[in-house]
Amino acid sequence: MGAQRRAVLAAGAAAAVSLAAGCGDGDGGTPEPTGSPAGTPTSPTPSDGASGSAPASPAGEELTAASEVPVGGGVVLADQEVVVTQPQEGEFRAFSAICTHQGCTVASVGDGLIACPCHGSRFRVADGSVAVGPATRPLPPKQITVSGDSVRLV
Ligand code: FES
């Protein structure tokens, strides 16, 4: 007689060591472009109902009298942050009075140039372009109308 022994050998449970190799650091040399969705969603929605008006900007705000704007020069309207110029007689222009360098308000117009007092930038009265730096971008134009002696924002 013999006692049988069964040696139950548990099947080797392989301890699977999962090598998580998913987080590979890159070299950092792949800058992702910031998402700039180009294009507008085109969803034709039949909007028959005029749902409210948007009185956003006071169109037609009077800026100055045309006679106040010297030919070849201009006037700075600090409150409205607009500079109105008259490069040639009867030809009026308007630009943002906020300097494109660091945001000072331009202070004066003379010799055909709009002057920023902060760092000395100068912009041409005809088109707002930079005549003297450090600013590198022109003054943004503003839309105006001249009726009679009144210069107004559009
Ligand atoms: Fe106008 Fe610097 S903010 S020149």
Pick from 81, 119, 123 the residue to mutate for probing ligand 1's pocket: most ligand atoms within 8 Å of its CB.
119
- Separation of 100 CA from ligand 1 center, angstroms? 7
Q: Are 151 and 99 in contact (CB under 8 A)?
A: no
DSSP for 2-38? --------------------------S--PPPP----
Distance CA 39, CA 85 (A): 36
Neighbours of 70 (CB within 10 A): 13
pLDDT digits (tens, 9 = 90+) for 32-72: 444 444 444 444 444 444 444 444 444 578 899 999 999 99
Name the CATH superfamily housing domain 37-153.
Answer: Rieske [2Fe-2S] iron-sulphur domain (2.102.10.10)
Distance CA 150, CA 87 (A): 17
Q: pTM here?
A: 0.62
- Separation of 119 CA from ligand 1 center, angstroms? 5
pLDDT digits (tens, 9 = 90+) for 11-37: 343 333 333 444 444 454 444 444 444
Distance CA 96, CA 60 (A): 16
C-alpha distances in Å from residue 141, one per residue of 25, 82, 95, 137, 149: 48, 9, 4, 12, 21
Ligand 1 pocket residues where CB is under 6 Å: 99, 101-104, 116, 118-121, 134-135
Atom 4 in ligand 1: which residue has the minimum CA distance?
Answer: 119
Distance CA 88, CA 56 (A): 32
Neighbours of 99 (CB within 10 A): 23
Ligand 1 atom at minimal distance to the Cα of residue 103:
3
